[in-house]
Amino acid sequence: MSVGPLGGSSRALRLDPFALPVRFAAQDGGADGQVRHVELDRERVVLRRAVRGMRMNVGVPVAEFRGVTMRLLPPEGEEPAAVAITMEHRDGGLSVPLLIASDGDDAAALWKSWGRVLGLPLLVVEGDGSLRDAFQRIGSLSVATPKPRRRRRAAIKWRRPSIMLRRKPGRPSATPRMHRGEREIIARN
């Protein structure tokens, strides 16, 4: 599958997170022809470009990326402002654009989908250009306040009696019963 903008025709780029693997062309200011070719899979990214006639192929595991960011791009010439979703790498030259669109109606949903599909954290770009997590996390788990369980409309409500919720577990007595000197009766056939 090949998706992407024509060389310099516009900034529009839209990839589907559920249609991987995908190949597309992206703008690259340092490459010959200002274009690099990207192969994106769930496990790795391959970047192909030529600089001064020398061809380069760079393979990077998806786990090496810092996360998926969403940012606003300022207007360029006649192009209006746009929303960009990118896979951010510590080396800015390895960052991969996933969505560049002038209308950001469903950008937040796609941002979350890309993070979920690739297993990367969602990042927000601060005013000074630094990145931070959009949501609190511990490792790869999201942290939130626990929600109380509601039994009124749950499917499990009709399967178990509510008396089980009020029942307390048994407690061992402070003085357990001990039987000494008795014979054990065993039933044998």
Predicted local distance difference test score (pLDDT) of residue 162: 65
Instruction: Chunk the chain into consecutive blocks of 10 residues (it has 189) and report each block's average pLDDT, rounded to whole numbers.
Output: 42 80 86 88 91 90 91 82 89 87 81 89 81 68 68 62 68 77 71
- pTM here is 0.62
Predicted local distance difference test score (pLDDT) of residue 45: 92
Predicted local distance difference test score (pLDDT) of residue 154: 61
Inter-residue contact 72 to 124 (CB < 8 Å): no
Contacts of residues 60-64 at CB distance under 8 Å and 24 or more positions apart, as own/partner, are: 60/89, 60/94, 62/87, 62/118, 62/119, 62/120, 63/119, 64/89
